[in-house]
Structure 1
Amino acid sequence: MVPVVAILLAVGLGCVVSTLGAENVTEKASTPEPSGNLPTFESYLDSYNKKYVVKYRIERRKNAFEKNVRAIETHNKDFQEGKSQFQMGVNLFADLDNELYKKQMVRMRDTNHRKMDIEIADEMVGAAGGMPASLDWRDKGFKTGLVNQKTCGSCYAFSVAYAISGQIVQRLNRVELVSQQQLVDCSTVAGNQGCAGGSLRYTLKYLESCGGIMRESDYPYTGAVSVLINHFQLSFPVEIANLRSSVQKVI
């Protein structure tokens, strides 16, 4: 179960993701290793086709990995004792410490926007009483597979795309994923910078101007900026103005 406040904050994030330098990494699915079957550092590197050349980098990654494994084991023990509702496992990022993870994967891009006035702040506080303490989209039929933005700084596109898909689930009662790649390629006209990062605000401005968004199956994600498509048929001429008004108070 995810607190609603956390959902709103997650939707509002825009980031830049740097490429992984001085190392060889072959992309693989980041499905966590099963709990209770945690790998050694050496087998982890082999499983994810990672290779570090510089000695200090090997030591840093190994120390981070072992620290993360200890945290996973502690957490999963709590899960087995009924103190937690979920299990943890090793995935592609298990050899990153918090500092390196934030540097490579969670670099924010600021946008120029007006400050929130006192009336809007009061309205937000007044509306908080009508919000549930938590929300699990799976209970509403919104179940999707794992996704990986790879080394493209496209979290702004994923945030908005899945927010729209959530609205489609509510309105049409079916899961219909929309194109993150369209947002990466085309929202540069509104101020985003493709794989170099972007923001929720600029992405919504782009959608408001173009009038809709394509299905993910028709315009799939590549993890890189592709050729801009100027002429396409919009799959969902969604009511972007309504969507934007529903989140504008958190951006």
Structure 2
Amino acid sequence: MSVSPLFLGSLAVLSTLVGPLCCQNVNSSESDAKLNGSAADFRAFRAHFHRTYEVDSEEFNRRRVYFQNATERHAYLNSFSTMSQSAKYGINQFSDLSQKEFKDLYLRVVPDKAPIFSGLKTPGLPARFDWRDKAVVAPVQNQGACGSCWAFSVVGAMQADHAIGGSQLEQLSVQQVLDCSYQNAGCSGGSPSRALSWLNQTKLKLVPRSEYPYKAKTGICHFFSQSHEGVSVKDFSTYDFSGQEEAMMGQLVAHGPLAAIVDAVSWQDYLGGIIQYHCSSHWSNHAVLIIGYDTTGDIPYWIVQNSWGTTWGDEGYVYIKIGGNICGIADSVAAVFL
């Protein structure tokens, strides 16, 4: 399949590393500039992302309008990016969705208010910490057109904590949580806190993903006997770290990757770099896994694993400035204890 050179230039998206393990920066090539400034590449977009809607059909015309709206939106969002490490926005797999469709499909978290953290800061924290360096973070997953981010964040924290405890890193079943967590609504949305409360109360053992594979749709709960091997939650904590992100760093180092809810409305267009603006936290709507931080550069940032596949963001990751509760990242943060 041939793809327009203009489009390929944009999909290079972020090819140059900025600082140690920081977000990648957009390559300022002529083809990048042409793509991000033109709505004429809708054909190349459809070819690359395998869109099959028929030319000149009602859906085609509607999607083309959404695509053109997206390119205008990118120009506005990028107008804030004055530093080399700043977030960049452009064409990705969500560019032919309206903002409402994007929210309805992917932003389905039910926010729960968390108690304010009242503990102490952890002294002597490293300037940079990344749980991937310990080989306890599973690869980026893709939730597909299912509002299951809440389950991915919880399972991501559990399987990482299990590996931190000395077990081999193994991907656990997100589908099991999706189907069986009766306090949540499967693909129609849910809450990480409610899922953890259910896991803690029932002591249900999560089985490997290979035994209960992900289907991107809600199904009937498959029960396993208590003697079946799996991973269960002994306890968990959920706190609001607003104004206390340094203490939140200590929780990450001490307890492993953290499940957090965020405002991800602007993430529809995210390509890479550190988010510092237009991410308000007025409406928490998405769940992610915080796996590290870096304070060594000009802009300190959280390292966050998302569940929209590796073609989104920086190979599936997003970077969020530390301080100011950007994207509401500190509003509701859960640690898991196995």
TM-score range, shorter chain: 0.5 to 0.7
The answer on whether the counterparts of 1:68 and 1:95 sit within 8 Å (CA) in structure 2 is no
Label 1:143 to 1:58 Cα distance change in 2 as closer, same or farther (>3 A).
same
Label 1:58 to 1:86 Cα distance change in 2 as closer, same or farther (>3 A).
closer
Distance 1:139 1:46 in 2: 36
Greater relative CO, 1 or 2 (CA 8 Å, sep 6+) = 1
1:201-250 deviation per Cα after TM superposition (whole angstroms, max 9, x unaligned): 22112212133211111111000112321235643333x123x1xx3234
- 2:68 matches 1:62: yes
Q: Could you state the TM-score of these two structures normalised by the residue count of structure 2?
A: 0.49
- 2:58 matches 1:53: yes
Alignment partner, residue 122 of structure 1: 118
The 5 A counterparts of 1:128-143 are 135-143=129-137
Match of 2:215 among 197, 218, 222: 222
Distance 1:104 1:130 in 2: 42
Q: CA deviation at 1:131?
A: 5.7
Match of 2:188 among 191, 196, 201: 196
Q: Percent identity?
A: 25
Partner amino acid for 1:53?
E
The answer on whether the counterparts of 2:110 and 2:190 sit within 8 Å (CA) in structure 1 is yes
Distance 2:11 2:137 in 1: 21
Distance 2:228 2:71 in 1: 44
Alignment partner, residue 33 of structure 1: 11
Partner amino acid for 2:239?
K
Q: CA deviation at 1:57?
A: 4.5
The answer on whether the counterparts of 1:215 and 1:235 sit within 8 Å (CA) in structure 2 is no
The answer on whether the counterparts of 2:136 and 2:163 sit within 8 Å (CA) in structure 1 is yes
Label 1:185 to 1:130 Cα distance change in 2 as closer, same or farther (>3 A).
farther
| Residue-pair matches, total | 202
Q: CA deviation at 1:97?
A: 6.5
Distance 2:147 2:160 in 1: 22
Unaligned segments of structure 1, at least 5 residues: 1-31
Alignment partner, residue 148 of structure 2: 154
Deviates further, 48-57 or 200-209: 48-57
Q: Secondary structure at the match of 1:108?
A: coil
The answer on whether the counterparts of 2:146 and 2:188 sit within 8 Å (CA) in structure 1 is yes
Partner amino acid for 2:195?
T
Match of 2:164 among 159, 163, 170: 170
Distance 2:124 2:58 in 1: 54
Distance 1:96 1:136 in 2: 33
Distance 2:224 2:62 in 1: 50
1:117-156 deviation per Cα after TM superposition (whole angstroms, max 9, x unaligned): xxx6432xx2365665653222121354332111211111
From the two aligned structures, give the one with the greater strand fraction: 2
Q: CA deviation at 1:171?
A: 1.1
Alignment partner, residue 109 of structure 2: 108
Unaligned segments of structure 2, at least 5 residues: 1-9, 14-28, 36-40, 241-331, 333-338
Q: CA deviation at 1:196?
A: 1.3
Q: CA deviation at 1:163?
A: 0.4
Following TM superposition, where does structure 1 have runs of at least 4 consecutive aligned residues deviating by more than 6 angstroms?
Answer: 69-72, 85-89
Over aligned residue pairs, what C-alpha RMSD do you find?
3.6
Alignment partner, residue 248 of structure 1: 238
